Protein backbone atom coordinates (compact mmCIF):
# COMPACT_ATOMS: atom_id res chain seq x y z
CA UNK A 1 0.00 0.00 0.00
CA UNK A 2 1.32 3.44 -0.92
CA UNK A 3 0.97 6.21 1.63
CA UNK A 4 0.89 9.95 0.90
CA UNK A 5 2.46 11.82 3.84
CA UNK A 6 1.76 15.55 3.92
CA UNK A 7 3.43 17.91 6.40
CA UNK A 8 5.35 21.16 6.01
CA UNK A 9 7.91 19.90 8.55
CA UNK A 10 10.56 17.66 7.01
CA UNK A 11 11.26 16.24 10.48
CA UNK A 12 7.64 15.22 10.94
CA UNK A 13 7.47 13.61 7.50
CA UNK A 14 10.56 11.53 8.35
CA UNK A 15 9.13 10.58 11.75
CA UNK A 16 5.84 9.47 10.23
CA UNK A 17 7.56 7.53 7.44
CA UNK A 18 9.86 5.90 10.01
CA UNK A 19 6.83 4.92 12.09
CA UNK A 20 5.11 3.51 8.98
CA UNK A 21 8.17 1.43 8.20
CA UNK A 22 8.17 0.05 11.73
CA UNK A 23 4.62 -1.20 11.31
CA UNK A 24 5.30 -2.70 7.90
CA UNK A 25 4.37 0.02 5.39
CA UNK A 26 7.44 0.78 3.33
CA UNK A 27 6.00 2.61 0.35
CA UNK A 28 5.39 6.31 0.85
CA UNK A 29 5.53 9.59 -1.05
CA UNK A 30 5.86 12.99 0.61
CA UNK A 31 4.50 16.49 0.14
CA UNK A 32 5.21 19.71 2.02
CA UNK A 33 1.78 21.32 1.63
CA UNK A 34 -1.72 20.67 0.35
CA UNK A 35 -1.07 21.97 -3.15
CA UNK A 36 1.94 19.73 -3.69
CA UNK A 37 0.05 16.80 -2.15
CA UNK A 38 -2.88 17.35 -4.50
CA UNK A 39 -0.52 17.23 -7.47
CA UNK A 40 0.96 13.95 -6.19
CA UNK A 41 -2.39 12.33 -5.39
CA UNK A 42 -3.58 9.69 -7.82
CA UNK A 43 -5.33 6.32 -7.81
CA UNK A 44 -2.15 4.55 -6.65
CA UNK A 45 -2.37 6.26 -3.24
CA UNK A 46 -4.06 3.94 -0.76
CA UNK A 47 -3.85 6.05 2.40
CA UNK A 48 -3.29 9.72 3.22
CA UNK A 49 -1.70 11.09 6.38
CA UNK A 50 -1.83 14.87 6.54
CA UNK A 51 -1.00 17.76 8.86
CA UNK A 52 -3.39 20.73 9.25
CA UNK A 53 -1.28 23.89 9.46
CA UNK A 54 0.60 24.19 6.19
CA UNK A 55 1.37 27.04 3.80
CA UNK A 56 -0.37 27.39 0.42
CA UNK A 57 -3.13 24.88 1.20
CA UNK A 58 -3.85 23.57 4.68
CA UNK A 59 -4.77 19.98 5.52
CA UNK A 60 -8.51 20.58 5.78
CA UNK A 61 -8.71 22.24 2.37
CA UNK A 62 -6.54 19.46 0.98
CA UNK A 63 -8.89 16.80 2.37
CA UNK A 64 -11.86 18.61 0.88
CA UNK A 65 -10.09 18.82 -2.49
CA UNK A 66 -9.23 15.10 -2.42
CA UNK A 67 -12.85 14.18 -1.70
CA UNK A 68 -13.87 16.21 -4.72
CA UNK A 69 -11.79 14.00 -7.05
CA UNK A 70 -13.13 10.76 -8.57
CA UNK A 71 -10.38 8.60 -7.03
CA UNK A 72 -10.45 10.43 -3.71
CA UNK A 73 -13.94 9.55 -2.53
CA UNK A 74 -13.00 6.54 -0.40
CA UNK A 75 -9.26 6.82 0.32
CA UNK A 76 -8.71 6.92 4.10
CA UNK A 77 -7.48 10.30 5.36
CA UNK A 78 -5.82 10.46 8.77
CA UNK A 79 -5.02 13.91 10.15
CA UNK A 80 -1.95 14.24 12.41
CA UNK A 81 -1.91 17.69 13.97
CA UNK A 82 -1.49 19.87 17.05
CA UNK A 83 -5.01 21.28 16.73
CA UNK A 84 -6.95 19.72 19.57
CA UNK A 85 -10.01 21.96 19.91
CA UNK A 86 -13.37 20.21 19.48
CA UNK A 87 -14.49 22.61 16.80
CA UNK A 88 -11.29 21.88 14.86
CA UNK A 89 -11.94 18.14 14.98
CA UNK A 90 -15.53 18.60 13.85
CA UNK A 91 -14.35 20.91 11.08
CA UNK A 92 -11.90 18.24 9.91
CA UNK A 93 -14.56 15.56 9.92
CA UNK A 94 -16.86 17.74 7.83
CA UNK A 95 -14.03 18.21 5.33
CA UNK A 96 -13.73 14.45 4.86
CA UNK A 97 -11.07 13.43 7.37
CA UNK A 98 -11.63 9.89 8.62
CA UNK A 99 -9.67 10.03 11.85
CA UNK A 100 -7.41 12.22 13.91
CA UNK A 101 -4.12 11.95 15.83
CA UNK A 102 -2.77 14.70 18.06
CA UNK A 103 0.92 15.46 18.13
CA UNK A 104 3.07 14.26 19.79
CA UNK A 105 1.96 10.72 19.02
CA UNK A 106 3.40 7.27 19.50
CA UNK A 107 3.86 4.73 16.71
CA UNK A 108 1.42 2.40 18.46
CA UNK A 109 -1.34 5.01 18.22
CA UNK A 110 -0.56 5.52 14.54
CA UNK A 111 -0.73 1.78 13.93
CA UNK A 112 -4.02 1.47 15.79
CA UNK A 113 -5.66 4.26 13.75
CA UNK A 114 -4.38 2.91 10.44
CA UNK A 115 -5.49 -0.64 11.23
CA UNK A 116 -8.97 0.53 12.21
CA UNK A 117 -9.39 2.63 9.09
CA UNK A 118 -8.20 -0.14 6.81
CA UNK A 119 -10.55 -2.55 8.54
CA UNK A 120 -13.39 -0.12 7.92
CA UNK A 121 -13.84 0.70 11.61
CA UNK A 122 -13.66 4.14 13.19
CA UNK A 123 -14.11 6.00 9.94
CA UNK A 124 -16.30 9.00 10.68
CA UNK A 125 -16.57 10.39 7.18
Q: Which of 1, 29, 32, 93 binds other proteins (CB under 8 A)?
A: 93
Cα dist from 87 to 81, 91, 101, whole Å = 14, 6, 15
Task: List all residues 6 or more positions away from 38 whose beta carbon is below 8 Å from its beta carbon.
Answer: 57, 62, 65, 66
Mapped onto helix, strand or coil, the DSSP state of residue 95 is helix
- Binding segment for other proteins (CB under 8 A), chosen from 24-32, 39-47, 62-70, 99-107, is 99-107
Is 7 among the residues that bind other proteins (CB under 8 A)? yes
What count of residues does the chain have?
Answer: 125
Q: Using the rule CB under 8 A, is 102 a contact of other proteins?
A: yes
Q: Among the candidate windows 24-32, 39-47, 63-71, 85-93, which touches other proteins by CB under 8 A?
A: 85-93
Note whether 46 binds other proteins by CB under 8 A. Answer: no
The stretch near other proteins (CB under 8 A) out of 14-22, 24-32, 40-48, 65-73 is 14-22
In this structure, is the dihedral angle defined by the CA atoms of residues 81, 87, 93 and 96, taken in order, positive or negative?
negative
Amino acid sequence: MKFLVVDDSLTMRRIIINALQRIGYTEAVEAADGEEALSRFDSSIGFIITDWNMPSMNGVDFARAVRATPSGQSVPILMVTTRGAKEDIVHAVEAGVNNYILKPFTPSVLKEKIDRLLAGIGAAA
